[in-house]
């Protein structure tokens, strides 16, 4: 299938460890943020989101942290599994409906 993530930064983690993926966003007016997971040959899939009036949001095995002061977003994955191997993108909602994606990080999980 289509190869995603050839030139993207790569994070390699041991199965069972925690993963932290970082993202810098561009627009201080952005009011909503989303993390997506993309597997090879597929479209992006929603993982978790956070609004700009929050600092942290937790889901099942995933946590998103938002630091508006430095325009930084992170995705933490607990107990990383082989099925978590994929490319991860953050996206920011710029007011007036634009949804802009960051450059992405490839996560490799070592057995």
Which positions lie near another protein, rule CB under 8 A?
A: 2-8, 31-32, 34, 42-46, 49, 51, 89, 91, 93, 95-104
Q: By C-beta, is 41 or 111 nearer to another protein?
A: 41
Q: Strands (DSSP E) along 25-102, which ranges? A: 32-38, 45-51, 56-58, 62-67, 72-77, 86-94, 98-101
Q: Residue 91 Cβ, how far from another protein at the closest point, in Å?
A: 8
Q: Residue 49 Cβ, how far from another protein at the closest point, in Å?
A: 6
Q: By C-beta, is 32 or 72 nearer to another protein?
A: 32
Q: Residue 43 Cβ, how far from another protein at the closest point, in Å?
A: 3
Q: By C-beta, is 44 or 84 nearer to another protein?
A: 44
Q: Is 74 within 8 Å of 62 (Cβ atoms)?
A: no
Q: Residue 104 Cβ, how far from another protein at the closest point, in Å?
A: 5
Partners of 100 in beta bridges: 92
Task: State the pairing for strand pair 56-58/45-51.
Answer: unpaired
Q: Is 75 within 8 Å of 84 (Cβ atoms)?
A: no
């Amino acid at each position: 299938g289509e190869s995603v993530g050839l030139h993207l930064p790569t994070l390699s983690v041991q199965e069972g460890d925690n993963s932290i993926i970082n993202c810098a966003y561009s627009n201080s007016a952005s009011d909503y943020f989303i993390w997506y997971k993309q597997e090879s040959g597929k479209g992006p899939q929603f993982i978790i989101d956070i609004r700009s009036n929050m600092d942290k949001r937790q889901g099942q095995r995933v946590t998103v942290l938002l630091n508006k002061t430095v325009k930084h977003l992170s995705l933490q994955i607990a107990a990383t599994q082989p099925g978590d191997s994929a490319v991860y993108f953050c996206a920011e909602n710029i007011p007036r409906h634009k949804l802009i994606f960051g450059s992405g990080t490839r996560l490799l999980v070592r057995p």
